[in-house]
Structure 1
Amino acid sequence: MRRILTELIFVAGLAATVWLAMHLGLRPVGQALSVIGVGGVLLVALAHLPTLAVLGLAWGMLAREADASPSVKFVWGRLMRDAGGEMLPLSQVGGLAIGARAVNLAGVPGMEATVTSLLDLFVEQVAKTPYSIAAVALLVWLVPASPLVGPAVGVLALTVAGLGVVMLRRAWMRARLVKMAANFDRRCTAEEAGAAEAAMAEALLPRGRLGLSLVLHVGAWGLGAVETWIALRLLGVDASLAQAVVIDGLFVTVRMFAFAIPAAVGVQEGAYVVLCGLFGVGAPTALAFSLVRRARDLVIGAPAVLAWQVLERRRRSTHAGRRA
């Protein structure tokens, strides 16, 4: 039932995107895309690779083997997490599962992959708060008369309050993550809940690495603003870096509340039209910007998904050969 609901939400979002494109006019959107061209899309994809690397390093900081520098495994896992969440009709949880599976195939124990993946997601959500604060502050400074100022400040206040509650209930949050990891990993490997608790304890023991993971996540969000600035400039928009922070930072906040929608399809397109419009960017160009971001995910994610399928097939063939 849940899978059917997810698929229906995805189809509805896709239909909303098609309607928006038809409403704005396919020709204006196509003209905006022609400005950036294939070469521009490839450049945007290349600009995203440092962000993926930093996000992978942030995840690797939480692993037991961090001192042995297994960073490439977690960069690969992060790539697969994003590819699963952005390319496939899956929710964020589905992408999380694929990322943990990829890290497990790379040699990280299953429970450790699952626990650190969930903990990394939590740290990433915490890191969004200072980025959202910066985005709202710049919004108030750049366009104080915008009707979005009030809602943005209100949502930010709720986000900060929610983070405060979580920090006050750290023990509850830890127990919740352990329970999620045990339930999730039991479906894959049948390990007991005690293994999840042990893996969480090992991930949280070196507190310096947890702090470093948080710093890396904040830096990754900053790189996201640079990516937005590059894409807008390639589309012919004379945007400043401060405007890019507002657009990307507010979208990150919107995306956080749309986590159940696969790839935020429909939500992303509508949000970018509104946010880019704050700085005079036409709706067709804003929609083209969203499509460029989709194309970037396809360029990076498609080869990753294919490589993952090859690894899975090799693993199944190896196991079948051993049983024979």
Structure 2
Amino acid sequence: MSSRSAVRALLALTFVAALAIAAPATAQDQAPATWGVGPSSQDGPDGRAAFDYALDPGQSLVDFVGVSNFGTEPITLRLYASDAFTSESGAFDLLASDQESVDVGSWIGFNEQVLTIAPQTRLDVPFALHVPADATPGDHVGGIVAALTEESTDATGDAVLVERRVGARVHLRVSGELDPALTPDIDHLTYHYEPNPASPGSATFDYEVENTGNVRLGGQLIARFSGPFGLLEREVVVAELPQILPGDRFEGTAEVDRLWPLLRLDAELLVRPEAVDPADAESRIPSSSHEETLWAPPWPQAAVLIALGLLVLVWAKLRKRRKANAKPKPVVDEPEPSKETSE
């Protein structure tokens, strides 16, 4: 098998939201290839930043995507739709071209999928979006992509095929009951002592926030720590949550400092969701939380107290002994020898 076929899988590169321009091509015998993708109409661009739709199950529509060649040479692009997901870093991304879409990416179809575009030219390409009759209510998110596949070489000199893609987001809201919800979870909760017993310690933990509802959401992730009866409560914003798509999750690691070891610490991870879609801006989205107990005996402080107690005890004994040694001994009068008188 040739090295080219061994690396036939295309590399997934950056997806640019809304209208975007591709990076320059690596080929050195032609001018850099740059192109853009954005919402359009049969008469040209219409000012939209993304494809935003609100449809009923079973409903269909026809729309246009504008694909522009900004370069000085003709380019051939492959046009397709794909499902979106929240990446590990919290970024918006699309499935790679070799991954099958099962949601809105599979509901969009084109009559033409391979486009050859002349220099300094835009094509307004029609496409159809059909919402299945059994589509679930809520947000379905994806993108329309124009991809250019080029031959390149990797670090070892082997031939590889590299896919560079540019696209625009698709936000589809299917009518029905909405259920916005972000659910937090906490794991590997650990308390860390400071070498200096006069300083408070810290807690580290892994967190996960899952979108268990059907609406894309962002928000804040907050950690609360307190001792028994709410003693010395501390609240910290752990993360500003990115847009999390329905069914996706965002993970990370956090540290909260200035926590005194109060034997038992109550830890609460709280999510305050925020709407991403402007249509939901006035909606009240309930918060949710997850609680854990963290045991943090005050060992360093106890050791210091014990040491101080021992020092006090030793000092008291030494002081008592010094007082005893310094006290003058009482003088005892010896009885005079008796004298016998003879008659």
Q: Which interval holds the TM-score relative to the shorter structure?
A: under 0.3
Q: Could you say which structure has the larger radius of gyration? A: 2
**Which one has a larger percent helix, Structure 1 or Structure 2?**
1
**Which one has a larger percent strand, Structure 1 or Structure 2?**
2
Flag the structure with more relative contact order, 1 or 2, with Cα contacts below 8 A and sequence separation at least 6. 1
TM-score normalised by L of structure 2: 0.21
